[in-house]
């Protein structure tokens, strides 16, 4: 295993906790990357092959995402090295053991991530009193159900219009990954006058320049079907949403969707990164050089974590919506203005903005 002291720089990690409870088969890592702005919010990932390095990378990403979002929380992450598909009672035992093991780690507020969900967070809170992404009955705001991240993506699009000479009214939208983020981004963009012309999931892509029937597609997904089950639809392979004829592209599935190989075929003028790291650095540079505007992931998709922060303060869905709109609009405008004024990539402008906020927060720490 990597020497934990070899990981890090002037920002963090502040603390790395290795957890072993052989009696319950628990092996886990918590990385508190930086807590200058407040207790870290970051997901609990459960995967058999998760590593300390992965945890540290994800924790750093949360530090920047939370600093950019301007919420009073630092960045952290945890991984439980286990199979998330294990029998439910075993999973509950394991998650509860993890929650007890981090009871004293007050500067870490766990949330759901790959392999964990709102029930897991309910067990965590039952054990140690701290978690976000809770079931509604415990004061949670069901962020995927209400589609707060997709809402934020649409707000980012609104703010980006004047920086790419595009109007949402009549703009053609392609969504890669018609899931929690993608379908709600589509819904909110259509509400703002855009036309959905491409949508994909793991089954393939459906396309129609005249406009796809949004409600029907949402209904298909709710019934556990694929967008390609749309009757009479023109169906193409899974990668076709990325290269579809459109004005706005929302990659909302997995990392590395826009690559060196397919970037030349991207037709959109505005890309809103709903997924985390959907484009390689080289692809973002190539898009920038062509005048395609990219609103980076940790600005465009921050709705979820902002909502979690509101939930932690006991706020309501209505408050969350208001704060998400204000913050994402403000941040998108600031990042795109900085990028335009300096000619830099929006991602670099966003990183500078987050870093400046982090540095300011760090001046208030005793040991820095
Ligand atoms: P989800 O599982 O609800 O939806 C993902 C969708 O993508 C599914 O419909 C799936 O079929 C589709 N998909 C998977 N691989 C694909 C491919 N290669 N081509 C086309 N479609 C594909 O997940 P989600 O919650 O919507 O999250 C999507 C992404 O956004 C993830 O990267 C996630 O980390 C990120 N994200 C989510 C949130 C949130 O609030 N849910 C917040 C920030 C970032």
- Number of Cβ atoms within 10 Å of the Cβ of 83: 15
Kindly give the distance from the C-alpha atom of residue 51 to the centroid of ligand 1, in angstroms, as a whole number: 22
Q: Which of 133, 199, 227, 252 to mutate to test the pocket of ligand 1 (most atoms within 8 A of CB)?
A: 252
Residues touching ligand 1 (Cβ under 6 Å) are 143-144, 149, 176-182, 200-202, 238, 252-254, 274-276, 301, 304
The beta strands (E) that lie in 24-152 are given as: 26-34, 40-46, 75-80, 108-112
Using pLDDT thresholds of 50, 70 and 90, give the confidence band for residue 368. Answer: low
Q: Whose CA is nearest to atom 32 of ligand 1?
A: 275
Using pLDDT thresholds of 50, 70 and 90, give the confidence band for residue 2. Answer: confident
What pTM did the predictor assign?
Answer: 0.93
Q: 70: helix, coil or strand?
A: coil
Q: Whose CA is nearest to atom 9 of ligand 1?
A: 179
Q: Which of the pair, 2 or 363, is modelled with greater confidence?
A: 363
Longest alpha-carbon distance in the chain: 64
Atom of ligand 1 nearest to the CA of 254: 32
Kindly give the distance from the C-alpha atom of residue 241 to the centroid of ligand 1, in angstroms, as a whole number: 14
| C-beta contacts of 316-324 below 8 A and 24+ residues apart | 316/141, 317/141, 317/146, 320/141, 320/148, 321/148, 321/151, 324/148, 324/151, 324/152, 324/155
User: Is residue 366 predicted with pLDDT exceeding 90?
Assistant: no
Q: Whose CA is nearest to atom 1 of ligand 1?
A: 179
Using pLDDT thresholds of 50, 70 and 90, give the confidence band for residue 60. Answer: very high
pLDDT digit string, tens, across residues 312-323: 999 999 999 999
CA distances from 23 to 20, 26, 27, 80, 97 (A): 9, 8, 10, 15, 10
Using pLDDT thresholds of 50, 70 and 90, give the confidence band for residue 6. Answer: confident
What is residue 28's predicted lDDT score, i.e. its pLDDT?
98
- Number of Cβ atoms within 10 Å of the Cβ of 245: 12
What is residue 1's predicted lDDT score, i.e. its pLDDT?
63
Q: Whose CA is nearest to atom 35 of ligand 1?
A: 275
Q: 119: helix, coil or strand?
A: helix
User: Tokens 């997995």, residue?
Assistant: 254
User: Is residue 83 predicted with pLDDT exceeding 90?
Assistant: yes
The set of catalytic residues is: 77
User: Is residue 119 predicted with pLDDT exceeding 70?
Assistant: yes
Using pLDDT thresholds of 50, 70 and 90, give the confidence band for residue 3. Answer: confident
Atom of ligand 1 nearest to the CA of 179: 4
Taking the C-alpha atoms of residue 158 and residue 37, their distance in angstroms, rounded to an integer, is: 29
CA distances from 10 to 18, 54, 65, 354, 363 (A): 21, 19, 17, 15, 13
Distance of CA 333 to the CA centre of its chain: 19
Mean pLDDT of 214-228: 97
Using pLDDT thresholds of 50, 70 and 90, give the confidence band for residue 7. Answer: confident
Kindly give the distance from the C-alpha atom of residue 177 to the centroid of ligand 1, in angstroms, as a whole number: 6
User: Is residue 99 predicted with pLDDT exceeding 80?
Assistant: yes
pLDDT digit string, tens, across residues 266-305: 999 999 999 988 999 999 999 999 999 999 999 999 999 9
Q: Whose CA is nearest to atom 44 of ligand 1?
A: 275
Taking the C-alpha atoms of residue 277 and residue 43, their distance in angstroms, rounded to an integer, is: 17
């Amino acid at each position: 295993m990597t020497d934990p002291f070899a990981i890090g720089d002037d920002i963090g990690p502040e603390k790395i906790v290795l957890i072993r409870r052989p009696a319950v088969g628990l092996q886990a890592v918590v990385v508190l990357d930086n807590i200058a702005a407040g207790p870290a919010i970051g997901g609990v990932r459960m995967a058999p092959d998760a590593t300390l390095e992965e945890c540290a990378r994800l924790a750093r990403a949360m530090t920047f995402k939370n600093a950019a979002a301007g919420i009073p929380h630092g960045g952290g992450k945890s991984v439980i090295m286990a199979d998330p598909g294990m029998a439910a009672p075993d999973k509950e035992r394991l998650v509860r053991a993890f929650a007890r093991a981090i009871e004293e780690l007050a500067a870490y507020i766990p949330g759901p991530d790959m392999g964990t969900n709102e029930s897991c967070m309910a067990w965590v809170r039952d054990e140690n009193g701290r978690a976000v992404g809770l079931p509604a009955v415990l004061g949670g705001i069901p962020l995927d159900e209400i589609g707060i991240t997709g809402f934020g993506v649409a707000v980012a699009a609104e703010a980006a219009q004047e920086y790419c000479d595009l109007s949402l009214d009549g703009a053609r939208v392609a969504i890669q990954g018609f899931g929690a983020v993608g379908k709600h981004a589509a819904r909110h963009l259509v509400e703002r006058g855009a036309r959905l012309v491409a949508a994909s999931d793991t089954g393939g892509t459906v396309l129609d320049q005249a406009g796809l029937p949004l409600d029907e597609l949402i209904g298909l997904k709710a019934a556990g079907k694929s967008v390609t089950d749309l009757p009479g639809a023109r169906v193409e392979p899974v990668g076709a949403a990325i290269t579809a004829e459109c004005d706005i592209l929302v990659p909302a599935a997995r990392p590395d969707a826009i690559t060196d190989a397919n970037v030349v075929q991207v037709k959109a003028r505005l890309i809103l990164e709903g997924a985390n790291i959907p484009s390689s650095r080289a692809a973002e540079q190539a898009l920038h050089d062509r005048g395609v505007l990219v609103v980076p992931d940790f600005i465009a998709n921050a709705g979820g974590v902002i909502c979690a922060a509101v939930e932690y303060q006991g706020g309501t869905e209505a408050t969350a919506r208001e704060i998400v709109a204000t913050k994402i609009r403000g941040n998108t405008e600031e990042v795109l203005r900085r990028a335009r004024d300096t000619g830099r990539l929006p991602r670099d402008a966003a990183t500078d903005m987050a870093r400046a906020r982090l540095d300011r927060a760090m001046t208030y720490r005793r040991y820095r």
